[in-house]
Structure 1
Amino acid sequence: MAYATLDELKGRLDWDLDDDELRIAVTALDDASELSAMYGRDWPEATAPRLVKTFVLKAAARYMRNPNGYTQSRAGDETLAWSDAHGRDAGSVYFTREEIRLLEELAGRKPGLASAPISAWGTKAHPRIEGLVPVDYGGAPFPMFADDRGPW
């Protein structure tokens, strides 16, 4: 399953790929497609949103341009540098935080808080008696409030 084709990726690169690069480009497209299914959802290829294809192509092209994740390179003293800006993703196919957020939204996942009613299994609702609290041992309800006029 790939959400983009090799020809579409070639159109985003400014050089002709040799045989090794072609092999790497195919795996980069597969990796980016798998990541988009993980962050978004497993869309059928024919019905995937166009933005998914765009993100897959961007991630694969980003990897093809810099497969080792270099941030600095000098030819004179042969200096190479890597950055922890992308953490474990440096030197691999990855999506940016914004791309991940948009993929989650496309899939209908919205981060945030939610609440759900929870009750213990096998419990029964007790009739509410104003000012009295039911007790577990089966006895008479316990008076919660000392005032006859109301709880407050």
Structure 2
Amino acid sequence: MAYATLNELKARLDWDLDDDELRVAAGALEDASALAAVYGRDWPEENPPRLVRTLVLKAAARYVRNPHGYTQSRAGDETLAWGDAHGRDAGSVYFTREEIKLLEALAGTRPTLTSVIVSAWGSRDRPVGAGLVPVDYDAAPFPMFSDDGGPW
């Protein structure tokens, strides 16, 4: 399952991929597509939204360009460095926070705050205090009549 093709990914890269890089690129497309489905939803593989395809290609190209997640490389004294900017995602296919927000917005799964009315099954609204008579001791009011409309 991939939301983009290998040819689309090759068009975004500025060099010709060898056989090993083609294998890695195909895996990166599948991984990015799986992540897009997790952060968004399962879109139809043959016709995902254009932005999903773009984000999958972007994440896969980012991985193919730098599969080890290096942030610094020097040839002189053989220095390699990995940054913590992407935490555990460094050296793997990942989406940035902004890309994740875009996927959530496309899928309609952005976390939001909402209020929900909760009521018991078969309950109905009653006027406050209708049909209840106060008592002298600390207890709930006593129902004097059962008709909600009035005492008569």
Q: Which residue of 1 aligns with 2:90?
A: 90
Which secondary structure state, in structure 2, belongs to the residue aligned with residue 17 of structure 1? coil
C-alpha change, 1:133 and 1:25, in structure 2 (3 Å) is farther
Q: Which residue of 2 aligns with 1:66?
A: 66
* TM superposition shift of 1:133: 9.6
* TM superposition shift of 1:15: 1.3
Which secondary structure state, in structure 2, belongs to the residue aligned with residue 72 of structure 1? strand
Alignment of 1:136-147 (within 5 A): 140=142
Letter of the 1:109 partner, please give it. T
Q: Which runs of 4+ in 1 moved over 3 A?
A: 122-134
Q: Which residue of 2 aligns with 1:56?
A: 56
Distance in 2 between the 1:68 and 1:133 partners?
A: 77
Letter of the 1:100 partner, please give it. I
* TM superposition shift of 1:124: 4.3
Gaps of 5+ in 2: 144-152
C-alpha change, 1:11 and 1:53, in structure 2 (3 Å) is same
C-alpha change, 1:91 and 1:124, in structure 2 (3 Å) is same
Distance in 1 between the 2:101 and 2:59 partners?
A: 15
Letter of the 1:6 partner, please give it. L
Distance in 2 between the 1:44 and 1:133 partners?
A: 63
Letter of the 2:50 partner, please give it. R
Q: Which residue of 2 aligns with 1:27?
A: 27
* TM superposition shift of 1:40: 0.9
Which secondary structure state, in structure 1, belongs to the residue aligned with residue 17 of structure 2? coil
Distance in 1 between the 2:23 and 2:10 partners?
A: 12
Letter of the 1:140 partner, please give it. F
Residue identity (%): 71
C-alpha change, 1:117 and 1:76, in structure 2 (3 Å) is same
Q: Which residue of 1 aligns with 2:42?
A: 42
* TM superposition shift of 1:16: 1.3
Deviation string, structure 1 residues 111-132 (Cα, Å, up to 9, x no partner): 3211112245x68457334496
Gaps of 5+ in 1: 142-152
* TM superposition shift of 1:18: 1.2
C-alpha change, 1:60 and 1:129, in structure 2 (3 Å) is closer
